[in-house]
Each structure stands twice: as structure tokens, then as C-alpha cells.
Structure 1
Amino acid sequence: MPCFILLPPWIESKQVGSINNMILLSSATSIASINSSCNKCICMMILTDNIVGITCLQNQTCLLFSNYSLSYTINNSLNGSFHFLIIPPEQQFSTVKTTVSCTPNCMNNGTCLFSNVCLCTSEWNGTYCEIPICSPPCENFGNCTSPGVCTCYYGWTGSYCQIVQTILWTFDNTLNDLSGQFIGVGYNSPTYTAGINGYGSALALNGIHNQCVIVYPYLNMSYMSFTWEFWIYPTIALPNDTTFISQCFNVSKDQCLLFMIRYDKILFSFWYDDVSGLTVIPVNKWSHMTLIYDLITNKKFIYLNGILEHAQHSNGSLSADFVNLTIGCRKMGKGATYDKFFTGYIDQMLYNSRVKNASEILNDATLVTYHRFLSNASLMDSGPNYINGSWGGGAVSIPSGIVNQAIDFPTNGSYFQLSELVLLGTSNWPLSLSLWFKINSLTETSSIAYLSDAIQCMKMITLLYNGTIQIQIFNGNKNNIIFGPVIHIGTWNHIIYTFSTVNGMRLYVNGSLYRSVITTYSTNDSPVTLTFGNSLFNTTCGYLNQQFYGSIDEVRLYSRELNATDIIQLYTNP
């Protein structure tokens, strides 16, 4: 029944209806909650224009309902009562003018109900309506930065950060991914060894001891496109079905993901839905694997060292629900035991929830390092491996490079250095070194690029006293040498040094092939250091301090031989 409240004659008459053992619920997300007695809440409702009803709970808390909500529901409850305002048909007295204030002011169209209590719209929350609301809420450490907008953490995407975008396991003395959200748990104590990028470590697995890694939580790849990339280094001849990565819900078609070796070649399987590579995977050598599933075209792709091996239509997409990923072994369904263990090293394992294109894959597999010498990141690697450099002796970043900034060697002893380069120190591994340089002064022979390890060293690119370019390579018995053109002081020039067992050593100058020589490439098969600008008094090889006085820019080192199209592109678009 309605109840009546007596008001002084100068206040308009208002009626309050009450229903006991009932509570009002709303679909709105910003109902104000007040810790106060029911009587005080009723007074607030009467004296405030935008409160149309309240629910009084037995714990001396009131819920205030405004006219912003679109729908209300009355439910039975023994813990509360519902009170609502009945507007009389005629108003005979003037309205009371009440003044309330909130400090600071209510934000984002919020209403100040009484002192420092704001009633927010459905899109905002917080004491002063300063916190945006995202519905559904942002997941995976995403931040709600404005109503309905989530800013996602590294590796995640989607309207509420629910889709994994990028996951990287570097295996730098940890089994967890780079973001710390996908946790690797070692099975039978896997260890670490030197990695592909020289400065970090790789995962070392011994299949004889049944070592592998189980990843938590579940990574959802079902009914999605994806790209997996990783480096492997088998240390033994691998038996059939040796597994690199698996996610098996059941041993049924399209319910089990497997990346493994079969007949010495890579196999990409959804279980009875397979595609196989064409090349035998070598032992005791690093190989870069890329495996792609494209949901749109329903095709699987296998790349080896950046080159497409095989593409084939799939019978269907993956459907491996709620089962953990394994690295270096497989588990065939729930309750099964682990088997098909890998023996060797795995490094830089990268997952993307999209299809990478051929150019991206080739760069990921073969662009060892790329240095732009920008003023705010002079030593940082802009390539996929984060092989940052070091410098000394007065080397500095200057504003006048071929593109943006460059590195300059103004004083005797100045240099830039890249250390622990694994593939460059591997015999007969193809390579390309591309750079721009400008001579500031020239009085004697100077070193532009110099290769060394603890035993062996080689002047890769040298500038002779008269400005002639010279490149060389060691074949195990002697240095094979190519003499290039004379380079003049004060102009930028582009040079590319390439090697492959097919074409030998080649010198390209300003986009054109200058000369080549058939040769092999012999090293100690250990990581090497590449130094620019100076040979740094290498007494092991009897070289003096051959300082280059000039600037270098846009240094790119590849673990493949660049072709003519690549070289023209680098020259015309540095």
C-alpha cells in the first residue's frame, strides 16, 4: 500500500509506495549503492529529481534506481523492500530547492546525488564516474581505456582481448613465453644451451630421457588461421614421428595438431589430414621451420629456411579443444602418456594468429640483423632477432645518413660491433652483407667490415689507400679476393657482399654485379664477431689498426644469398 509523508506547506506533496519482501533489479550496470538507512534513502528519493525507486536491504544498504535504466525487474526477497515515488496528479506547492555538491565534479555526464556521491551513466563507473566500463570486461591484462574499448596487452587482440595474436618463447633460461602468460612446465627436467641468435639460450631436449615441455593454459587454435615459426637443431638422426609441437584432443581426423619428422622430412598433420615437406632435415645444423594454416583458403603450408616447401588443401580446420600444447613430445588425447620425444635444440618459437606472407617468412628466417643507427636507438637491431650492437672509440650517430641517421667513425679506434653471430660462423652457409658507406678522408688502407673469432679472422670489406674496394673470403687454404672500383670521397655508395656454394663470392656496387669468383667458405664453425670501421689491432692475424674515417648506414646481414631483384630493391629503396 502507498504510504504518505507529511511535508511542510512550502514543499510539494509527494507519495512513496512500498512493497515489502520484494527487491527491484535492473539491467543497468551503474546502479548507485549507498550505505545508509532506509529512511535516509527515502528522503533522498523525495528530494532528488532523478531517483525513481530504491531497494532497502537488511544490511542497511540502499540501491538507488534512476530513470537512465531501460528495464526493471521485481523479484521476491526476504532481505529487502522496494520503495517508489508516486507523483501526485496536481502540484499545489513550489518545489524545494536543494543544493548538493561533489568535489571533484561528477565526470562523463554523471549526476551528483548528494555530497560526493555521483550517479553514473551505464558507460562509466567509479566514485566520480571516471572509470570506463567495457562489457564484456577486457581479458588477458587488457585495459578498458574508454567505454567499450579495450587496449590489449602484448600478444593479444580482439574486442575484449580474447584472441591470442603473438606468443614468443625465446627459451632464454625460461620455459615461459615473453609475456609470462603461457607458462612452460618441464617434463623430466629439460635444460638450455647456446641459441641461434648468439646472445641468448635455446631449449635443449634429450629424447632418451623423455624430456619435453607442457604449456599452460590452453592455447585455442581451433577453427583459426595461424603461423608457427621456430628453429631446430637435431643432435641425432631422428626416428619417425619425432615431435616438435603437438596439441591432440583425440586421435581422430582434425582433432590433433602435430609438427613432426617423418622419413627425415617435416610433417604438418591434423591427423589423417597431412602435408609433408620435400627436404631432408639435416643433423647438427640449424633449420628454420614455418608451418601455416589458412582458414580462408583451407590450406596448409610448410616453409624451410624461408622457402616454400609444400602447400596443400586441408580436409578441415583444427578442432583440438581444451588440451595443452606440448613442445618436444606428443600426448595423444586425454589420459594418454607422452611419447615421440625430440632430441636436440629448439629456439625462438613464435606463434601468430594470422597467416604471414612469403616476404615476412623469408625475412624471419634469413634476416640475421638490421641496423639503421637511429639517434634514439643507435645500437638496436630492427630485424627479427634483436641482435643489438656495441660501439666505442668515439663512434657516434649523425643526422645525415642515407636514410635518417647514420653511424660515423671520426676518430682513430672508433668502431661498431656485432658479436656471437652463429650462422655467419658456419662453413659454407650462404650469406649477404649489405651496407651504405661514405668516405670522409682517406690516407691509408682502412677496414669497413672485419670478421673474427678466437682463432681466425678475415678482412671482409676493405678500402685500399687509393679508394679501391676489396672483398675476400677464406676457403680453408687461402683468401680469395675480388678488387672492386675506386670509390670517391664524400659520396654515398651501396655495396653488397654475397656468398653461396653455387655462385661463390660476389661483389655488387650500387645495384650492379661488379665481379664474382667461385669459392667455398671455411670457418671454425663457431660464433664470430663482425666489426665495422676498425680491425681493432687483431694481433692473432697480424692486422694493424686499420681505421675507416667515414660513415656507414643501413647495415643488413642475411643468412642467404640475395638475388638480383633483392639487390636492386635495396639500392633503389634503402
Structure 2
Amino acid sequence: MYLSATTATTAQSIASAFWSFDSNALELYNSGLDATLSGSPIYTTSFAGYGAAISFTRSSTQYVYITPKVLPFNSRSFTIEAWIYPVSLSSSNDYGIFGQCQATSSNLCLYFIARNNKLLCGFYNNDIQGGTIITMSTWHHVACIYDLTTMTQQVWLDGSLDGSHSASAYNGLWGNTAIGATFQLGSASTFNGYIDNVRFEARAKNSTEILNDATLHVYYSFDGGSLTDNGPNGINATAYGSLSTTTGRVNQALQFSSGPYISYSYTPFYFLGISGSSFTIALWAKPTGSYAQQTILLVEQPSGWCVHYLVMTSTGHLVANCWIGSNIATNGPIISLNTWTHIAYTYSTTNGIRLYINGNLNSTTGSFTFSGSGVPMRFVLGGDSGRTVCSPAYGGVFTGALDEFYLYRRELTAAQVLALANP
């Protein structure tokens, strides 16, 4: 199916567009860009744990198409981003993620696809393919970027540049604009799996922006007592008990006393359940009162797997824990009372846990592969919600203030940790 010039109107200027697929195909920023379902795709759990993603079955030729307006891609810079969860892709087929095709002629058909199990972004006879095999049955952040100023075409996988080359601009003025399908072969090349949070920007995003979009999972500034996610994914937290606002290390912070904590009614962190998956936790902490066994951060699967990732002993020592079938830990220093301390816990299979204090590497476990639960996780911040028995079998209510919480799905470098510790 192609949209004709008489049935679709190309918008002259659209700064950005966003399809969240939270149980509908509405576009959230503009009028005239809502998507229509073709082939009856269904909805499934989002990568973020709340809302939904859209599920496409290739054998049923399922996709969505955008009407009545056509997004303007011609002779300009743009960025297309999405989260994808591919299922059983064959090397003999193209699997469409996003596309717009006026005609199957040079620079008149835009397609962002998986081909030979690698990403490919092209304008027809003007393509760039990534070099990394896409892992099946896991979530990936993907991006296709064209920069008109540098005349560069790029594909990005999980925040890393996967392919780049010099390319002339896309020239199509109208055509079948679709998510979950492309039309470079004439008929629909549809996706097989889930797609979520599709974004369009009428500019070429830079490498820092793409890396953050792909790997900054949540960021809470806590300014004004807010638990709104200031990162790209909108994963807002919930207070259990009464929290108050206090002077922070940066602007304002949250004060914890008498047992309140922050958590979620769902499990938004799929990567914390995947064995060996890299991550970074960073925050400012200011314990008050007196030293006691207390939990800064617990990671848990409700009624199951749980570890006090950051916990203080009765003498005030900070301990960073993880799990390999038994507890594994690295011991940190005594955390001063009534003083802001920046804490960063990074993990990768190569380096294990690295515990940074005020931007400096303090201790490490060395290499290991942590044993995940195999299901999405959540965390408890500022306590352990009564699950003190979780590994290493001590912890409890945190008393003090917390500020500037970050969770990344990558291991930050020492320089990146140092930057967070020096806002």
C-alpha cells in the first residue's frame, strides 16, 4: 500500500514526534500524525515496565501507518529512535522498524530495518549497515540519523555508533510512512517482535544525547520533592510513607526518617534481572543521627530475588553487594554523618563492582558475572521495605537525605563518575 500525493499532506515543519504505544497508536505532540493499525497488532509490556509496547507478528503482516500528514524528511537532518525487542529474525528477510517510501528509486525510499540480523538505514541505493549482530529476545535502543550539514548517515545500537558513511540527502516528499514496516521491496517488510517509544527529531542528535537516550534509565533530581523521572523514559517513582524536602547537594533533596522509602508498584528495570548486564548506580547521600545498619538501595524481584546493593554497617562502613549464587561484596569507607558524600556503584563482567566515593575509585571486587533473577526488577531507595533478611542479611531504614539519583544500563567510566561527583 502506498499513500498518494492526493490522500496525504506533507507537513512543512515538525520539530519532534513521539509514539509511546501505551495501548494505542496516538502521536503525542502533534495533530495529524496518529498511526492506524494494519493487520491487527496487539500490545504487550513496555521495556519500561509500565504502559505498553506494540507487538508485531511478521506472518500476519502487522504494522502501523501514519495518516493524514506525512513527516518531512526531505533534504534535512533528522533522528529516528526506537526501542525494539526482536524475535526470531531470519537473515534472509528485511524487518522494518520505520520507513517512508515515495518510490523504489534512489533517495526516494527511506527505510530503517534489520537485515542479516544487523541494523541498516537507507534511502534506496544509499545505505549504511551496522556491524553488530542484534541479540534476539532482549530490548535494544536503536537510532537512524542523517546530518545534512556533514552529509552523514549513521546507525546506532544501544548507544554506540554501529555504522556511518557519507551520503546524499533523502528527497522523498510523500509516501507510505510506517512503523513496524518498510516498503523498499515494493510490498511491506514487516517486523517480528515488539517496538516501543518511537521518536522523531528534525535534527541530528549528537553522540552524548544518543548515549543518554539509550542508557540513562532513570534520573531523579528530587527538586521540590518531585519523584518525576528527569531522564528519557518517564519512569516516575512512588513514595511509600511521608518524605520531606531539604537542602540538597544540588538544589533540593529528600529527607528520609521513620521508615519511608521510594519504590514502584511494578518492575521497570529489565536489565537488572539479566545475568552479567552492565549498570551504574550513582547518588549523593547524607546520613544523619547515629550509625546503624541501614539500607541505601535494595534491588528486588517482589517476593523473590533481593540484594541490599548499597548498605551501611553499624559502624558506618559502606558496603556494595551483588549476587553470584551467594553474596559478593566490596567494602567501602565510613560514610561521614551530616556530610554529603557522592557514591557510585558501577558493574561490568570485566571489572565487577567498582565503588567510587566522591568521584574516586575506593574499592573493587574484580571480575565476576552476577547471577540475575531472569525477570525485570525494581529497587527500594532509602530503606528495604522490611526485607532485611535479603542478602547479605542486614540493613534497614535509612535516616538522612538523598539527592541526584542516576541509574544507567551501562558501566560509567571513571571520568564520567568524576563528572557526576562534581556538579
SS at 2:190 equivalent: coil
Match of 2:251 among 404, 417, 433: 404
Match of 1:249 among 90, 102, 110: 102
1:369 paired to 2:218: yes
Conserved? CA contact 1:369–1:381, under 8 Å: yes
- Give matches, 1:462-477, under 5 Å: 462-475=311-324, 477=325
Conserved? CA contact 1:265–1:276, under 8 Å: yes
Conserved? CA contact 1:470–1:482, under 8 Å: yes
Name the aligned partner's letter for residue 343 of structure 2: I
Name the aligned partner's letter for residue 423 of structure 1: F
SS at 1:572 equivalent: coil
Match of 1:203 among 54, 61, 64: 54
**Residues in 2 aligned to 1:466 and 1:271: alpha-carbon distance in whole angstroms:** 65
Q: Show the counterpart of 2:140.
A: 287
SS at 1:495 equivalent: strand
1:505 paired to 2:353: yes
Which is worse superposed, 282-291 or 436-445? 436-445
Query: Per-residue deviation at 1:539?
Result: 7.4
**Residues in 1 aligned to 2:359 and 2:30: alpha-carbon distance in whole angstroms:** 44
Match of 1:194 among 45, 56, 59: 45
Q: TM-score, normalising length from structure 2? A: 0.92
Q: Show the counterpart of 1:166.
A: 16
1:544–1:473 distance in 2 versus 1, CA, 3 Å: closer
- Give matches, 1:139-158, under 5 Å: none
**Residues in 1 aligned to 2:227 and 2:48: alpha-carbon distance in whole angstroms:** 16
Q: Show the counterpart of 2:4.
A: none
**Residues in 1 aligned to 2:240 and 2:65: alpha-carbon distance in whole angstroms:** 44
Number of aligned residues: 406
**Residues in 2 aligned to 1:540 and 1:232: alpha-carbon distance in whole angstroms:** 37
Name the aligned partner's letter for residue 263 of structure 2: Q
SS at 1:208 equivalent: helix
Conserved? CA contact 1:245–1:259, under 8 Å: yes
Q: Show the counterpart of 1:453.
A: 301
- Give matches, 1:104-253, under 5 Å: 162-179=12-29, 181=31, 182-216=33-67, 217-239=69-91, 240-253=93-106
Q: TM-score, normalising length from structure 1? A: 0.68
**Residues in 2 aligned to 1:427 and 1:348: alpha-carbon distance in whole angstroms:** 25
Conserved? CA contact 1:442–1:465, under 8 Å: no
Unmatched 5+ stretches in structure 2: 1-8
Query: Per-residue deviation at 1:441?
Result: 1.6
1:560 paired to 2:407: no
**Residues in 1 aligned to 2:389 and 2:22: alpha-carbon distance in whole angstroms:** 32
Q: Which has the higher contact order (CA 8 A, sep 6+)?
A: 2
**Residues in 2 aligned to 1:572 and 1:544: alpha-carbon distance in whole angstroms:** 31
Q: Show the counterpart of 1:84.
A: none
Name the aligned partner's letter for residue 240 of structure 2: G
Query: Per-residue deviation at 1:443?
Result: 4.0
**Residues in 2 aligned to 1:534 and 1:251: alpha-carbon distance in whole angstroms:** 58
Q: Show the counterpart of 1:303.
A: 156
SS at 2:223 equivalent: coil
What is the alpha-carbon root mean square deviation over aligned residues? 1.8
Conserved? CA contact 2:112–2:182, under 8 Å: no
**Residues in 1 aligned to 2:240 and 2:113: alpha-carbon distance in whole angstroms:** 45
Conserved? CA contact 1:537–1:545, under 8 Å: no
Conserved? CA contact 2:293–2:394, under 8 Å: no
SS at 2:309 equivalent: strand
Q: Show the counterpart of 2:378.
A: 529
Conserved? CA contact 2:140–2:157, under 8 Å: yes
**Residues in 2 aligned to 1:165 and 1:428: alpha-carbon distance in whole angstroms:** 38
Query: Per-residue deviation at 1:319?
Result: 1.4
**Residues in 1 aligned to 2:417 and 2:344: alpha-carbon distance in whole angstroms:** 8
Name the aligned partner's letter for residue 403 of structure 1: V
Match of 1:259 among 99, 112, 117: 112
Match of 1:329 among 181, 184, 188: 181
Query: Per-residue deviation at 1:238?
Result: 3.4
Name the aligned partner's letter for residue 219 of structure 1: L
After superposition, what is the alpha-carbon deviation per residue over 1:364-386, rounded to whole angstroms, capped at 9, x for unaligned? 110000001111x5111111111
After superposition, what is the alpha-carbon deviation per residue over 1:155-182, rounded to whole angstroms, capped at 9, x for unaligned? xxxxxx9411110111101112113521
